[in-house]
Amino acid sequence: MAVKPMNLQVDIHLKRGDFNFKAAFETSSERCGIFGPSGSGKSTLMLMLAGLLTPDKGRIVLHNEILFDSEEQINLKPQKRRTGVVFQHGYLFPHMSVRRNLLYGWKRIAPILRKEEPGKIIEVLELEHLLDRKVTALSGGEQQRVALGRTVLSCPQLILMDEPLTGLDSQLKKQIICYLLKLFEECGIPFLFISHSVEEMSLMAEEVLVFRRGTLRQTLREKEFSRKNGSSLKVDLKKAEPVKDLP
């Protein structure tokens, strides 16, 4: 399926204690990485995009819809933004089965907005055999696959991921990256993700926003980013195999 570029315009400022955040950028990329050292403001940006933290001033526009505008006093609630968020630890509902977790968002959106078929997502993520398990009885990688599936099934216009691979070992990381790229190919939903890892940027991003001390310093195409940071890993999306190791 053709991916709809994210068409995101951001110009925001926020002061949190001693920390000053400011970023102004536009992106029409399909896979955008947010890179920078600890404390540089990556999660702060993601929380503001998701509507979980309010900027002091500025504007956020996604696909020509204003999500936030301080002058016009617009601040759409998280559930109205059509952004799906995947956090580092998945944050699944522990008392529910895999199936109920997966269908949670899907059941709550209007049928006309349900673009994804649960059966297809379950197949891509290879979750069939786990559907009746409680999520507390899953491995870390399986939990992250359920979190990805649940987010995709809520049919967002943009997926936001805050270090979705942290805590997984390197083999599992590569496996989840392949699942992620397959999902992206199947569903055509653009994503924005945070990582400290040059390798993850190289494998997953098309464009990289580089932050330092709360400020957007550079916007680089993946090739240029990888050249500057010494990584040149490649994944052919069409050939991505979930269970095989990557070069």
Residues that bind ligand ATP (CB under 6 A): 16-17, 19, 36, 38-44, 196
Specify the residue, 106 or 191, whose C-beta has the smaller distance to ligand ATP: 191
Please compute, for residue 141, the number of CA atoms within 13 A of its CA located in the half-sphere on the CB side.
17
CA dihedral 47, 136, 102, 34 (to 10 degrees): 30
**Rounded-to-integer distance, Cα 72 and Cα 42, Å:** 26
User: What DSSP designation does 77 have?
Assistant: -
201 closest CA partner among 224, 168, 167: 224
Specify the residue, 204 or 240, whose C-beta has the smaller distance to ligand ATP: 204
Specify the residue, 30 or 163, whose C-beta has the smaller distance to ligand ATP: 163
Specify the residue, 22 or 114, whose C-beta has the smaller distance to ligand ATP: 22
Q: CB atoms < 10 A from the CB of 1, how many?
A: 10
To the nearest whole angstrom, how small is the minimum distance from the Cβ of residue 38 to ligand ATP? 3
Specify the residue, 17 or 111, whose C-beta has the smaller distance to ligand ATP: 17
Whether the CB-CB separation of 98 and 133 falls below 8 Å is answered with yes
Residue 51 φ/ψ region, left for φ over 0, alpha for ψ in the -120 to 50 degree band, beta for the rest:
left
195 closest CA partner among 185, 182, 176: 176
Specify the residue, 41 or 51, whose C-beta has the smaller distance to ligand ATP: 41
**Rounded-to-integer distance, Cα 98 and Cα 149, Å:** 10
Residue 167 identity (one-letter amino acid): G
Whether the CB-CB separation of 76 and 51 falls below 8 Å is answered with yes
To the nearest whole angstrom, how small is the minimum distance from the Cβ of residue 196 to ligand ATP? 6
To the nearest whole angstrom, how small is the minimum distance from the Cβ of residue 244 to ligand ATP? 30
To the nearest whole angstrom, how small is the minimum distance from the Cβ of residue 90 to ligand ATP? 16
**98 to each of 33, 36, 59, 64, 144, how far by Cα in Å?**
28, 33, 37, 35, 11
To the nearest whole angstrom, how small is the minimum distance from the Cβ of residue 13 to ligand ATP? 13
Specify the residue, 40 or 144, whose C-beta has the smaller distance to ligand ATP: 40
